[in-house]
Amino acid sequence: MATAIKTDILNAFLDKIDESNFSSLKEKAQQRLRETGLPGIKDEEYKFTSILRKIEKSIENFSCAAASELSEEDVQESLPQGFSGDYLVINNGKPELNLSKISSQHYKVTLLSEAENQTLGSIAKIEKDPFTALNSASFADGLSISVDKNSKIEQPIFILLFNKANQGEVINSRLLIEIGENAEVSFLENTISLDERAYFANQVVEVKASPNSQTKYAKLQNESRNAITVNNFETDIHRDAVFTSTVISLNGDMVRNNLSLNLLDSGCEGNMYGLYLLNGKTHVDNHTNVDHTKPHAESNELYKGILTDSSRGVFNGKIFVRQDAQKTNAFQQNNNILLSEDATINTKPQLEIWADDVKCSHGCTTGQLDEEALFYLQARGLGRDQARGFLLYAFAGEIMEYISDDSFRQQVIDLVQERLGSQI
Amino acid sequence: MLSIKNLHASIEGTPILRGIDLEVKAGEVHAIMGPNGSGKSTLASVLAGREEYEVTEGEVKFKGKDLLDLAPEDRAREGVFLAFQYPVEIPGVSTTNFLRTAVNQVREYRGQDPLDAVKFLSVMKEKMKLVEMDQKLLSRSLNEGFSGGEKKRNEIFQMAMLEPTLAVLDETDSGLDIDALRIVSNGVNKLKSPDTATIVVTHYQRLLDYIVPDYVHVLYNGRIVKSGTKELALELEEKGYDWIKEEANAASV
């Protein structure tokens, strides 16, 4: 599968890596990458989304970006209005603890480089995805966030990532999040492009949700028109724990999200919600994967998309139900509205069920706006554009309800309404 | 108020209306009756501006303006209201939110100040009583999961909120039980005034016991073949439509 057309970019990149930190992980990852290369369009998992080709076309300097200048003001401007919780700032992959706010006593934030952590690389495995390997081979540092057991973090923790091509154009960010037993926490994430230059952001997030914990993670993707982004988000969910992911994708050049929920024990629940509103030539690919390994676990998935211009969406939803996982409930739904002739959606549910006593359902729809509903609203005095915005917002709105923080939800709603041209 | 002259309309090339003439004055109630497929609902749809229908001939003046020239939303803002035969279910939009937008759009067009949230709510509460509408229903998604009766009541409630000068009720009575029919008709009657007019499109004479028309017109094959007073409706109830069809067919031979 070594299909990389310009393997030399990758090799040159790997040759330059600074191995002063995380040397054993980096070595393994490099070795793996030199064998496999980066996936091309012949790779089944990436056939619609050739990150490699995009990199070859748009990235001039395929080497790691240095941290850029970042001020307190940049940070404050990027937080949602009215947000009063803690925030963690990451600058081209480099944690900026002095620009962060950590006020709660119930969780600890440390640099990954500060203390060796056995969990690092054990949830997001290098074998699983070449971009995880690429991040693992070359990341300089990252954050470890560890939430104390039996604690409830009242305010959400905002993870703010600032990206900007600076010398190099490859940005590795890395997070390791460990939620203690019975803990309850909510994370919000937003990535801000500091300018319009192209970069390749390659993020890896590993989450360990300990037994009976409750975690929410809401992510906004509204980067520049030239941003190429890959996210590998891997979650291990233990007994009776609940994990909910919400991903809102609004902007970027090419975005690939690999989201995996590993339901490792009984009684756990994994939820995945997503909304993509795409225009221009934006390409967003959501590959989700939920793995039911033990009985009595539940997963829910709902992704919705509205696509216009010549944008492209890809949805691939894998559900594994292993032989042991009797009494599994797994639901998946993907609904799309295409507003132009040139917009494309490729949607594919992929269910593999080895247990015989399970409830699984999946469905996908792709359609246009309902003309009858449009006429109904017009006949009540709404202008056509407004009626259109109303209907689109009605379609998209339910996903945003899964963002529990009011200030962040409002920030997202404002962006969505602006995009849809509706005021509700 | 409304003047329809020689109106012809077709859908996908098939003519449905073949020359309708109708004058409606302020304060009047007109009933349009007729067998299935005669063009009743088409007439209602053409007045509201449904796009599938192509007007091939004739004119419609509403308060002196060329109605056919206006977009559907502008017809609504001018004061035409169509109560749908099949109100559309719109998940994700609450009736309250949608109506506030609609009411304020209409008010803006008419040069009135928008209603703020408090004022809107008090107007809403008052109008809800007209059709015995439950507030809980209004915070739910528009028409979603509503019973047939609730949908029709919601239509009349919206009409009350938008204060049209011409209300066109397209088979609002179809599928309603007697209680729902009474509530809906009551609402319509309370909204009548010397300045407004109502066109009631119906299949059944029963509705006209509650909403008493000044004129009854029978539509057949896309034309008004007979007009009269409410007694005509009673005659139709008793004798059916066959004699009308025979008369009309004989006349056109």
**From residue A17, how far is each of A63, A134, A139, B184 by CA, in Å?**
9, 11, 9, 76
Q: Packing angle between helix B95-109 and helix B148-162, nearest 10 degrees? A: 30
The sheet carrying A269-278 orders its strands as A94-101, A86-91, A157-163, A184-193, A214-222, A242-251, A269-278, A298-307, A329-338, A359-367
Q: If DSSP codes are grouped into helix, strand and coil, which group holds residue A312?
A: strand
> What's the whole-number mean pLDDT along residues B92-110?
91
Report the chain B residue with the minimal C-alpha distance to residue A392. B92
For β-strands B166-170 and A214-222, DSSP reports them as unpaired
Name the residue among A379, A122, A138, A259 with its Cα closest to residue B164: A379
User: What region, left, alpha or beta, does residue B75 occupy, with left being phi > 0 and alpha being psi -120 to 50 degrees?
Assistant: alpha
The pLDDT mean for chain A works out to: 94
DSSP state of A127: T
Cβ–Cβ under 8 Å, residues A302 and A330: no
Structure tokens, A278: 């795409």
The pLDDT mean for chain B works out to: 91
Structure tokens, B188: 């319509």
The sheet carrying B65-66 orders its strands as B14-24, B2-11, B53-62, B65-66
Measured in whole angstroms, how far is the alpha carbon of residue A389 from the centre of its chain? 26
**Buried-exposed string A178-189: b where 16+ CB fall within 10 A, e elsewhere:** bbbbbbbbbbbb
Put simply, the answer to whether A424 touches B72 (Cβ < 8 Å) is: no
**Residue in this structure with the two tokens 């962040």, named with its chain if needed:** A408
- Residue of A372, A378, A391 with shortest CB distance to B73: A378
Q: Residue A80 — pLDDT band, cuts 50, 70, 90?
A: very high
pLDDT at residue A264 tops 90: yes
Name the residue among A283, A274, A75, A73 with its Cα closest to residue A190: A75
pLDDT of residue A8: 81
Cβ–Cβ under 8 Å, residues A87 and A100: yes
Domain that holds residue B43: 2-252
The ipTM (two decimal places) reads 0.94
Put simply, the answer to whether B98 touches A423 (Cβ < 8 Å) is: no
pLDDT at residue A287 tops 70: yes
Q: Where are the domains of chain A?
A: 7-265, 372-424
Structure tokens, B148: 């047939």
d(CA A191, CA A162): 6
**From residue B232, how far is each of A341, B217, B239, B243 by CA, in Å?**
53, 8, 10, 12
Residues comprising chain B, all counted = 253
d(CA A212, CA A241): 4
Q: Of B62 and B237, which is predicted with more confidence?
A: B62
Structure tokens, A237: 């969910």
Structure tokens, B55: 């007007």
d(CA A94, CA A102): 17
d(CA B33, CA B21): 15
> Best mutation site among B41, B98, B139, B155 for testing chain A: the one with the most A CBs within 10 Å?
B98
Q: If DSSP codes are grouped into helix, strand and coil, which group holds residue A40?
A: coil
How many CB atoms lie under 10 A from the CB of residue B142? 28
Cβ–Cβ under 8 Å, residues A221 and A193: no
In A37-141, alpha helices (H):
51-58, 72-78, 130-138
d(CA B72, CA B44): 12
Cβ neighbours of residue B121 under 8 Å, at least 6 residues apart? none
Min CA distance, B245 vs chain A (Å)? 32
Cβ–Cβ under 8 Å, residues A391 and A421: no
Cβ–Cβ under 8 Å, residues A37 and A4: yes
Q: If DSSP codes are grouped into helix, strand and coil, which group holds residue A258?
A: strand
d(CA B31, CA A204): 69
What's the domain count of chain B?
Answer: 1
Cβ neighbours of residue B163 under 8 Å, at least 6 residues apart? B79
Q: By the CB < 8 Å criterion, does A394 face chain B? A: yes
Put simply, the answer to whether B162 touches A379 (Cβ < 8 Å) is: no
Cβ neighbours of residue B49 under 8 Å, at least 6 residues apart? A375, A378, A379, B70, B71, B72, B75
Cβ–Cβ under 8 Å, residues A185 and A147: yes
Q: Residue A422 — pLDDT band, cuts 50, 70, 90?
A: low
pLDDT at residue A184 tops 60: yes
Name the residue among A289, A181, A185 with its Cα closest to residue A238: A181
Cβ neighbours of residue A76 under 8 Å, at least 6 residues apart? none
- A137-163 pLDDT per residue, tens: 999 999 999 999 999 999 999 999 999
Put simply, the answer to whether A379 touches B90 (Cβ < 8 Å) is: no
Element containing residue A321 per DSSP (H, E): strand A312-321
d(CA A364, CA B203): 40
- A246-260 pLDDT per residue, tens: 999 999 999 999 999
Q: Which residues of A touch B90 (CB under 8 A)?
A: 373, 376-377, 391, 394
**Residue in this structure with the two tokens 């002095």, named with its chain if needed:** A98
pLDDT of residue A1: 44
d(CA A420, CA A422): 5
Q: By the CB < 8 Å criterion, does A354 face chain B? A: no
Element containing residue B42 per DSSP (H, E): helix B40-48
Element containing residue B95 per DSSP (H, E): helix B95-109
- B111-142 pLDDT per residue, tens: 999 999 999 999 999 999 888 888 888 888 99
- A351-395 pLDDT per residue, tens: 999 999 999 999 999 999 999 999 999 999 999 888 998 899 989
- A35-57 pLDDT per residue, tens: 999 998 889 999 999 999 999 99
**From residue B81, how far is each of A292, B96, B141, B201, B214 by CA, in Å?**
54, 18, 21, 13, 19
Put simply, the answer to whether A381 touches B87 (Cβ < 8 Å) is: no
d(CA A129, CA A39): 9
d(CA A258, CA A129): 9
**Buried-exposed string B214-237: b where 16+ CB fall within 10 A, e elsewhere:** ebbbbbbbbbbbbeeebebbebbe
Q: Which of A256-260, A420-424, B77-81, B133-137 has the lowest mean pLDDT?
A: A420-424
Q: Which residues of B touch A394 (CB under 8 A)?
A: 90-93, 141
Q: Residue B253 — pLDDT band, cuts 50, 70, 90?
A: low
pLDDT at residue A108 tops 50: yes
Report the chain A residue with the minimal C-alpha distance to residue B107. A381
Cβ–Cβ under 8 Å, residues A127 and A121: no
| High-pLDDT (> 70) share of chain A, % | 98
> Best mutation site among B53, B67, B73 for testing chain A: the one with the most A CBs within 10 Å?
B73
Report the CATH number at residue B169. 3.40.50.300
pLDDT at residue A202 tops 80: yes
Q: Residue B239 — pLDDT band, cuts 50, 70, 90?
A: confident
